């Protein structure tokens, strides 16, 4: 916290601190990481990664809260219910941040940043679905209506060609139906993941590469983005921040079983200044 107490509006330093806090897994540290990444959004609103980091930390926080309840046999659910409003708020904010990335135009060097945003949005949808299927949503008056929707159609409205006001020849109900259908076109109904690896870093104009070695020995990286078992790697970001994301669908085959080795390789820095400092990923 000494870095934060200096009250320096340095985005790289704040991202570094945020990633460290998130890596600890401690509840208080994750809460502080949310505040740190919110500050990054305030300082760098023109970079999509500012919103992705804010969404990622909220997804992690919500996911961790649900896993704790599921795995802790001594937990009777009271803590979970007490924090239900906070959980709902985190999920809703996460969806809005990801929708912001998907519905805005970014600098050319961030081309295809929408791909990681869409992956994380599907993970959030699965989280909400699990909550809807859980008995906790039916306790103490908390039902599915208390949760945010699985898919934020209204937040994605700017992305839809049918989101405009109805013409005289088109009824309002028809327009609403078209908007919902367009929104759902962005969603894959069978998105179950066996594995997702998310690599982000704090330094602009810096190239860090994600490498994933699958059980067969196949290495997935920027020169080999697709594997025989269905592994897929997102675009190689060479101008800072990432994220680079590896995903593997949870379908078929024993060949997916085994150990996956994850590497982050520092490739190059394109900074003009030598005073930028180290890179944290």
CA 85 to chain CA centroid, Å, is 20
The domain that holds 251 is classified in CATH as 2.60.120
Q: Are residues 116 and 235 in the same domain?
A: no
DSSP percent split of the chain into helix, strand, coil, nearest 5: 50, 15, 40
Q: 217: which 2 tokens?
A: 């020995």
Integer Cα distance of 262 and 231 in angstroms: 13
Same domain (yes/no): 144, 158? no
- Judge whether residue 176 has pLDDT over 60: no
Tens digit of pLDDT for each residue in 57-113?
A: 999 999 888 877 666 645 554 444 447 788 889 999 999 999 999 999 999 989 999
Judgement on whether residues 114 and 242 belong to the same structural domain of the protein: no
Can you spell out the DSSP letters for 90-159? Answer: HHHHHHHHHHHHHHS---GGGTTTHHHHHHHHHHHHHHHHHHHHSGGGGSTT--GGGSPPSS-TTTTGGG
Other C-beta atoms within 10 Å of 224: how many?
A: 12
Gap between the Cα atoms of 192 and 123, Å rounded? 9
> Domain check: are 53 and 174 in the same one?
no
Q: What percent of the chain has pLDDT over 90?
A: 44
Domain termination site, one of 151, 174, 204: 151
Whether residues 146 and 255 share a domain: the answer is no
Cis peptide before 98 (omega within 30 of 0): no
Query: Does 221 lie in the same domain as 163?
Result: no
A 10 A CB-CB count for 106 gives 15
Where is the domain boundary, 98, 128, 151?
Answer: 151
Residue 50 belongs to domain spanning? 1-151
Residues 40 and 165 in one domain: no
| pLDDT tens-digit readout, 196-220 | 999 998 888 888 999 999 999 999 9
Same domain membership, residue 145 and residue 253: no
pLDDT band at 178 (very low <50, low <70, confident <90, very high): low
Domain boundary among 129, 151, 173: 151
pLDDT digits (tens, 9 = 90+) for 114-153: 999 999 999 999 999 888 776 554 444 455 557 788 999 8
pLDDT of residue 256: 86
Of the candidates 151, 87, 159, 88, the residue with the CA atom closest to the CA atom of residue 121: 151
Q: 260 near 201, Cβ under 8 Å?
A: no
What average pLDDT does this structure show over 269-281? 55
Stated pTM of the model: 0.82
In the chain, the N- to C-terminal Cα span, in Å, equals: 19
| CA 214 and chain centroid, separation | 23
What is the rounded average pLDDT of the residues 223-244? 91
Q: Does the pLDDT at position 44 exceed 90?
A: yes
How sure is the predictor about 154, in pLDDT bands with cuts at 50, 70 and 90?
A: confident
Sheet holding 219-220, edge to edge: 219-220, 206-213, 261-269
Tally of domains in the chain: 3
**72 C-beta neighbours (distance < 10 Å), count:** 12
Residue 53 shares a structural domain with residue 157? no
Query: 8 and 111 share a domain?
Result: yes
Q: Mean pLDDT in the chain?
A: 81
Domain co-membership, 23 together with 71:
yes
| 195 neighbors 246 (Cβ within 8 angstroms) | yes
Q: Which helix (H) or strand (E) holds 220?
A: strand 219-220
């Amino acid at each position: 916290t000494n870095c934060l107490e200096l009250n320096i509006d340095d985005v790289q330093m704040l991202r570094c601190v945020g990633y460290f806090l998130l890596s600890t897994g401690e509840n208080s540290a994750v809460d502080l990481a949310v505040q740190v990444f919110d500050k990054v959004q305030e300082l760098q609103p023109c970079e999509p990664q500012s919103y992705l980091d804010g969404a990622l930390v909220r997804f992690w926080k919500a996911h961790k809260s649900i896993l704790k309840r599921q795995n802790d046999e001594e937990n009777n659910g009271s803590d979970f219910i007490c924090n239900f409003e906070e959980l709902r708020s985190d999920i809703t904010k996460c969806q809005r941040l990801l929708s912001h990335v998907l519905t805005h135009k970014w600098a050319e060097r961030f081309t295809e940043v929408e791909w990681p945003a869409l992956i994380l949005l599907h993970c959030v949808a699965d989280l909400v679905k699990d909550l809807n299927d859980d008995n906790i949503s039916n306790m103490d008056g908390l039902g599915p209506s208390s949760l945010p929707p699985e898919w934020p159609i209204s937040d994605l409205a700017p992305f839809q060609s049918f989101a405009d006001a109805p013409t005289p020849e088109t009824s309002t109900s028809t327009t609403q139906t078209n908007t919902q259908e367009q929104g759902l076109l962005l969603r894959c109904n069978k998105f179950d993941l066996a594995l997702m690896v998310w690599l982000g870093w704090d330094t602009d104009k810096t190239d860090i590469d994600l490498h994933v070695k699958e059980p067969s020995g196949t290495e997935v990286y920027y020169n080999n983005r697709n594997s025989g078992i269905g592994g897929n790697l997102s675009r190689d970001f060479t101008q800072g921040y990432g994220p680079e994301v590896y995903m593997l669908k949870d379908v078929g085959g024993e060949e997916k079983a085994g150990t996956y080795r994850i590497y982050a390789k520092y490739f190059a820095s394109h900074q003009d200044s030598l005073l930028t400092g180290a890179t944290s990923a």
